[in-house]
Amino acid sequence: MLGKVYSAAVLGIEAEMITAEVDVKDGLPCFSMVGALACETREAKERVRIALENSGYRLPVKRITVNLSPADIKKEGTAFDLSIAIAILAAFGYVSEKSVENSMFMGELCLDGTMNPVSGVLPASCLAKDKGFTQVFVPRENAGEASAIGAFFVYGVTSLREVVEILNGNGDILPYTEPPTEHVKEEPVPDFSDVQGQVMARRALEIAAAGRHNVLMIGPPGTGKTMLAKRIPGILPELSYEESLELSKIYSVAGRLKGKCLMKKPPFQAPHHTVTQSALAGGGRRATPGLISLAHNGVLFLDEFPEFRRETIEVLRQPLEEKKITVARYGAVCEYPAGGMLVAAMNPCACGYYPDRSKCNCSYTQIKRYLGKISRPLMERFDLCLEVGPVRFGDLKTDKKNENSERIRKRVEAAVLRQKERYYGKPFSYNSELPGAEVKQYCLLTDEAKECMEKAFERLDLSARTYHRILKTARTIADLEGNDRIEKGHVGEALSYREPDRKFWGGEQG
């Protein structure tokens, strides 16, 4: 007797088809499983056997062999429990082969036969759509994300017995026939109207949001760096369906989607400076996505930037350039998107008040050592570097409300639309993602702007990478103003966002 049902193994944010094959024969009674199984997957043997018994299915004493095919794909996690149980029941005739041939099954079984939610249901649902499955069975908590694709019937079940009854036509559970309207509930984002003063910082963050540029804020404590960073998601456009689906896949794989549908708002991740390399970049035993991927299409905010371990933040260099990160572990190589903005904030020295010598007592050596925690190659990954100074008393006492996030977001949305129209059909959508070979084609300068850029290149001794980043920033400034060509004023403003870089890292200190 042979039973066969389908499930999925998640690799990165994509899924591969897995077939649970069960062979039942006479012979010495045993229950064996094969197919490149991780420890928790191999333990399904005991979970499934006891869950079947406690659900009322008494199995004859036979030799049972389970194979999760193809055998060259590493199977991790507990999501194969349900498919194994249904394949066994199909082999013993409790359900017909016809009832399972167009179905996919995912779910973890408890010993009493009830279901626990699992991660990775959204990528598996995308695979089910591509393969033409007509129905998918998942734990009830995962039904929302499975139904987000809207291409098949989704049954959110609470127990193994419910699945069998539905397959045999006796169940009273109705499937989701349309995607639910409920999305992941994000926390409300603070508004820019609450920020007093800091006109230049507000302008720089608007530019960064419009072109998805990385930005470093440097200044003494209490100047509002963290306050500004937390408001950036509020000026980012709402995610498109494709961006929302990709981000939701990442959160589904990480087990953070919490059974809802899709994420519509840009994410904001702000890890503590004690975060590990694995937590930031991704990895661990199962090569799960890290915080840099969880901030995809949103903001990764690193406060107190020099306090992070140097080896930890250095792992950001390649993902910031390539907008993706490859996590390799034994038996698995997973690629995750990493296309979020990096926003970092730091003090200019250990005490926080350099270059104000009336408050700062740090020696030149101490200042140099503190700033040296940020390597030059990592510094060059920032398109904008701005100094955030103390807020004036006059800005604090005024009752005048500053421009709110909604008005800023409208300008950002218009600039983003210009970029997406310009780069339509290209593998990139934002100015910050422009490859070096494409900069000359899309960053067209007026004669005055060319002359200004040439002088700046020689006077400031810019590297090729920094030169390109200045041009990309100038391209975004031009887009915010609705200009097709980059003018001298755009270049000048872009260069001004490199001044703190030269002041603290390139010039003399004392």
Structure confidence at residue 174 (pLDDT) = 72
Give residue 417's identity as a one-letter amino acid code: L
In the chain, the percentage of residues whose pLDDT exceeds 90 is 72
Tell me the average pLDDT across 352-373.
92
What span, in angstroms and rounded, lies between the C-alpha atoms of 469 and 459? 17
Claim to verify: residue 287 and residue 240 sit in the same structural domain: yes
* pLDDT tens figures, 258-269: 756 788 899 999
| Residue 28 to residue 405: CA distance in whole angstroms | 71
Crossing angle of helices 81-91 and 160-167, rounded to 10°: 50
CA–CA dist 32, 492 (Å, integer): 70
Indicate whether 159 and 250 sit together in one domain: no
Distance CA 261, CA 321 (A): 31
pLDDT of residue 186: 62
The domain boundary residue, chosen from 120, 152, 167: 167
H-only helix segments in 317-387: 317-322, 364-371, 376-379
- Answer yes or no: are the C-beta atoms of 342 and 18 closer than 8 Å: no
Residue 201 lies in a domain: yes
Rounded to two decimals, the pTM is 0.90
pLDDT of 262: 84
The DSSP letter of residue 93 is: T
- Give the integer Cα–Cα distance in Å for 99 and 384: 59
Round to whole Å and give the CA distance between 464 and 28: 71
For 64-98, the pLDDT digits (tens) are 999 999 998 889 999 999 999 999 999 999 999 89
Judgement on whether residues 230 and 152 belong to the same structural domain of the protein: no
146 and 198 part of one domain:
no
Tally the domains of the chain.
2
- The pLDDT confidence band at residue 284, using thresholds 50, 70 and 90, is confident
Mean pLDDT, the chain, rounded, equals 90
For residue 208, tell me if it sits in a domain: yes
Spell out the alpha helix ranges (H) of 314-446: 317-322, 364-371, 376-379, 393-397, 405-422, 436-442
Which DSSP helix (H) or strand (E) runs through 207?
Answer: helix 199-211
Q: Are 64 and 101 in contact (CB under 8 A)?
A: no
Q: Is the pLDDT of residue 509 over 60?
A: no
| CATH number where 241 lies | 3.40.50.300
Q: What is the average pLDDT across 273-286?
A: 89
Structure tokens at 374: 């940020």
**Interatomic CA distance for residues 432 and 444, integer angstroms:** 15
Q: Which of 51-55, 220-224, 285-289, 430-434 has the lowest mean pLDDT?
A: 285-289
64 phi, psi to nearest 5 deg: -110, 125
Task: Give domain status of residue 185, yes or no.
Answer: no
One domain, residues 319 and 391:
yes
Q: Domain containing 73: what range?
A: 2-167
First to last CA, the chain: 83
Clarify whether residues 305 and 339 are in a common domain.
yes
Note whether 163 and 233 are same-domain residues.
no
